Amino acid sequence: MLYHLFTPLVGSCRLCIIFNVFNYITFRSAGAAVTGLLMAFAVGPFVIRRLRAMKVRQVIRAGTPDSHQEKKSTPTMGGVIFLIAGLVPTLLWARLNNRYVWIAVLATAWMGCLGFIDDYLKLKQQREGKKNEGLVERYKLVGQLTLGVALGIALWLSPLSNLPGASTTIPFYKYVLVVPVFAWLYVPWVAFVLTGTSNAVNLTDGLDGLATGLSAIAFATFAIFAYLIGRFDASQYLQIYYLRGSGELTVFCSALLGALIGFLWYNTHPAEVFMGDTGSLALGGALGAVAILLKSEFLLLLVGAVFAAETVSVIVQRSVFKYRRSRHGVDYAKAHRVFLRAPLHHHFELKGWQESQVVVRFWILGVLSALLALSTLKLR
């Protein structure tokens, strides 16, 4: 909004030349990050008070370590804080005639609404004394896949750049564009990436500040990629595909980065509020959408390596357990689990690591993954 408000004034008077700074993505991204941070600080206390007053408390999942029982009184659905503090600055600082921005915003809002419904149903079921499973898994999956299919079809039939809509790139390779033999296969691919990423962040959100910090690292990394991919000179120098207009995603990623840092103030151990599915599904949706829009889905595996490891740990745990149960019985399967508990962060908790140790060490792994992803810009 600010871009459209001030850039037309450039040249209208001698002093108005100062408004030329709004033409620079770097300036608007910095503004979005700072605005997101300040909005999180401003909105956070009010939202937390309201959630406490409404007794919107965390539902402890079955199979969670016993040490987490003390978190029952902590309010959840705090993802509303960074959704407000991330999306409002995006609309304030980004160019509103940019399709990349609107797709990212709508994907985030869709997943956020899906998570909100899930959180609401869990709390409603808890108050009614029912089993608090939230939104039925198949309905949640339908909601995620609906967004993925819609986005896949839209990008396939209406490409945002000069590249084929149904295409992606591979890290470490110069100008290698992967185009499926049958273009329609791109649609299930997008649905898989978007659904998988949203669920991966959701699974990782099990310790104070863990998913928040890892998401901040991921969005900071993709902000850099979006800026470089959206600049013709930088993309030519680095020998990566240029996507005109994609640079505006730098503003989106920066706004969420600032909002997440602000939210981390309240979410760090011991947490005053949890993001809930409202926040985790939204963050996963945003991260997946950005990767898809930048044609960097495979890069997402590097940037979000910790998210991927958490998801794989759950898949392996469940698959091996079911196999051993069918072959040797329940008792044998329980006694021979691959991990002490899944997702992976709970395994290390039961190994004796303190919660803060797990979180900080996983953050370090997240930073190393981000650096590895950034190294692909030169290692080609």
Q: Using the structure block, give the residue that is written with the tokens 């809930």.
A: 276
Whether pTM > 0.85 for this model: the answer is yes
Q: Using the structure block, give the residue that is written with the tokens 């899930």.
A: 118
Q: What is the pLDDT of residue 301?
A: 95
Q: What is the pLDDT of residue 348?
A: 94
Predicted confidence band of residue 127 (pLDDT cuts 50, 70, 90): confident
Q: Is the peptide bond before 8 cis (omega within 30 degrees of 0)?
A: no
CB atoms within 10 A of CB 345: 26
Q: What is the pLDDT of residue 306?
A: 97
Phi and psi dihedrals of 94, rounded to 5? Answer: -85, 165
Question: Greater confidence, 130 or 230?
Answer: 230
Q: Best-predicted range by mean pLDDT among 14-28, 48-62, 364-378? A: 364-378
Q: What is the pLDDT of residue 271?
A: 92
Q: What is the pLDDT of residue 128?
A: 72
Q: Helix 210-229 vs helix 305-328: angle between axes, to the nearest 10 degrees?
A: 130
Q: What is the pLDDT of residue 193?
A: 97
Conformation bin of residue 209: beta by default, left when phi > 0, alpha when psi is -120 to 50: left
Q: What angle do CA 142, 75, 207 make, to 5 degrees?
A: 75
Measured distance CA(96)–CA(93) in Å, rounded: 9
3-state secondary structure of 102: helix
Q: For 149-158, 174-183, 238-247, 317-326, which range has the lowest pLDDT when averaged over its residues? A: 174-183
Q: Exposed e or buried b for every residue in 84-119, given b needs 16+ CB within 10 A?
A: bbbbbbbbbbbbeebebbbbbbebbebbbebbbbbb
Q: What is the pLDDT of residue 15?
A: 80
Phi and psi dihedrals of 169, rounded to 5? Answer: -115, 170
Q: What is the pLDDT of residue 42?
A: 97
Q: What is the pLDDT of residue 92?
A: 97
Q: What is the pLDDT of residue 68?
A: 67
Residues 190-226: tens digit of each pLDDT: 999 999 999 999 999 999 999 999 999 999 999 999 9
Q: What is the pLDDT of residue 322?
A: 93
Q: What angle do CA 303, 306, 307 make, to 5 degrees?
A: 85
Per-domain residue ranges of the chain: 2-296
Q: What is the pLDDT of residue 67?
A: 64
Q: What is the pLDDT of residue 11?
A: 73
Q: What is the pLDDT of residue 64?
A: 65
Residues 154-198: tens digit of each pLDDT: 999 999 998 999 999 999 888 889 999 899 999 999 999 999 999
Average pLDDT, the chain: 92
